[in-house]
Amino acid sequence: MQAWRAAPVPTVPRTDSDDLKIFDSAAQEIVTLGPRHGIARMYVCGITPYDATHMGHANTYVTFDLLNRVWRDHGLDVKYTQNVTDVDDPLLERADQTGVDWRDLAADQIQLFRDDMEALNVIPPADYVGAVESVGLITDLIDELQQRGSIYAVDDPDYPDLYFRRKSDDDFGSLGHLEGAQALAVFAERGGDPDRPGKEDPLDCLVWRLERPGEPAWDSPFGRGRPGWHIECTAIALQKLGTDFDVQGGGSDLVFPHHEMCAAEARVATGRPLARAYVHGGMVGLDGEKMSKSLGNLVLVSQLREQGTDPMAIRLALLANRYREDWFWTDDLLRSAERRLQRWREAVRLDAGLGAAEVITQIRSALNHDLDAPTALAAVDAWAGASLAADCDDTEAPRQVAEAVDALLGIRL
């Protein structure tokens, strides 16, 4: 599947910089992330394409775009893989509700997502992979797990779907840090089926759903059907990145069960960790509630663009919040971002400005310390204010700052 287009990323003269340090959800602490040299490998879970990109999505992909940019600034090549769950229950349900063929709905929403990401200046992944095109990879992984005794058919005479026997993995729970009733409740809330009769354990997850009337299905050694959600990401990540890759990322609602299940499946299949660290962005809300498709309280990137909002103001509004904190979208936040963007553009269009070296160092330092974008934005604010207020003589500074803000923060000025 072809990814969206990306504008060229400016290069900024480098100085020695600190290692990137970021919060690892599994370790529950700040860790050094990525290699010193060579290739950094990142997998970020993608969309289920049944509705447009809302601010929660945008927050996640801008967060990992920052990570991508920091690694590139460190001189690393970045092998970035993202999936798209182009067959799943929510997509099929929305297609049924609207009367649109599920394939057409998926294609339309994937293109809209690409357009939104391009507008937000998000560097596309090297590999953008759909579930449908990966069915063969997924069934191969299920077969490997089955040979290791970790797959069973649920006790259901009508639909003996296949499940991952998660008890076979002794480390299960080391990522989500949930146990007992809390784990069951979160599993049910986030797409699991703990109450399904015939399962060996309530937390076992579906890996192959046998064909139901009217649903899409593919041939497999296990009968016609379609893949479960978690096994999709595990198979794509292992095929594109291998084991022990640097980071698996997504929104904080993916920590459990999704990333927990992916990690468990990969450990059983390969004997190795799936990822070295797990990084998660916070949830974005509106009017005191989490922003989600199920609640219908969405602020959509595409709608704001259609209304004439500069995508760089949207990106600045997102960056004004710490990536792993929960926060609420407001009109005031967007208006403040628009004013900030205007000030920055006025400053970089000056004939001369305050020297650029210090502000570029400050941006780099902030991003290296747990992607602290608000501190980086404050450094640019200070530079812009000083440049606009004083009679400066560095004629190269405005261009240098504009290039750095584009390369490091993804804001085109």
How does residue 270 score in pLDDT terms, banded at 50, 70 and 90?
Answer: very high
Centroid of chain to Cα 342? 29
User: Does position 17 have pLDDT exceeding 80, yes or no?
Assistant: no
Whole-number percent of the chain with pLDDT over 90: 89
Q: Which residue has the higher pLDDT, 294 or 223?
A: 223
User: Does position 16 have pLDDT exceeding 70, yes or no?
Assistant: no
Q: Residue 122 CB: number of other CB atoms within 10 A?
A: 22
The pLDDT of residue 393 is: 92
- Side chain identity at 114, as an amino acid letter? R
How does residue 4 score in pLDDT terms, banded at 50, 70 and 90?
Answer: confident
What is the assigned CATH class of domain 310-323+332-409?
mainly alpha
Q: Which CATH architecture has domain 21-285?
A: 3-Layer(aba) Sandwich (3.40)
Cα angle, residue 267 at apex, residues 265 and 268 outer, rounded to 5°: 65
Centroid of chain to Cα 289? 21
The pLDDT of residue 15 is: 59
How does residue 253 score in pLDDT terms, banded at 50, 70 and 90?
Answer: very high
Q: Domain residues of the chain, as ranges?
A: 21-285, 310-323+332-409
Average of pLDDT values for 326-330? 94
Convert the pLDDT of each residue in 143-163 to its tens digit: 999 999 999 999 999 999 999
Centroid of chain to Cα 261? 17
What's the whole-model pTM score? Answer: 0.95
User: Does position 299 have pLDDT exceeding 80, yes or no?
Assistant: yes
